[in-house]
Structure 1
């Protein structure tokens, strides 16, 4: 979990983009990936794109296998 936070939220804060990226409140533009499993328990999920069941890029759904 700490590695994911370091790769996302911490970088957003360092770039001065807090509240603009890395958030998904209503009205925000989001990049989001929903995995077929828990990547905190199985980091190998990141290595197989077929394990991504929902991908939202720039606020638009680009993959939906739900």
Structure 2
């Protein structure tokens, strides 16, 4: 979990974009990935792009395998 927070929230803070990126909120730039599994329990999910079942980039769905 610490690695995911560092890659998202911490980087948003470093870039001066807290509340705009790395959050799911109205008017935020939403980049979101839903995985077929729990990445906190299985980090190998990240190594295979087919495990990403939904990808939203800038608030628009660009991949949906649900």
TM superposition score normalised by structure 2: 0.93
- Aligned residues between the structures: 66
User: C-alpha root-mean-square deviation of aligned residues, in Å?
Assistant: 0.8
Which residue matches 1:33?
Answer: 33
Partner of 1:11: 11
Unaligned runs of 5+ in 2: none
Question: In structure 2, the residue corresponding to 1:33 is in which secondary structure?
Answer: strand
CA distance in 2, matches of 1:24, 1:61: 14
Partner of 1:56: helix, strand, or coil? Answer: strand
State the match for 2:47 in structure 1: 47
Q: What are the ranges of 5 or more consecutive residues in structure 1 without an aligned counterpart?
A: none
Q: TM-score, normalised by structure 1?
A: 0.93
Runs of 4+ in structure 1 off by over 4 angstroms are none
Name the structure 2 match of 1:20.
20
Q: CA deviation at 1:40?
A: 0.5
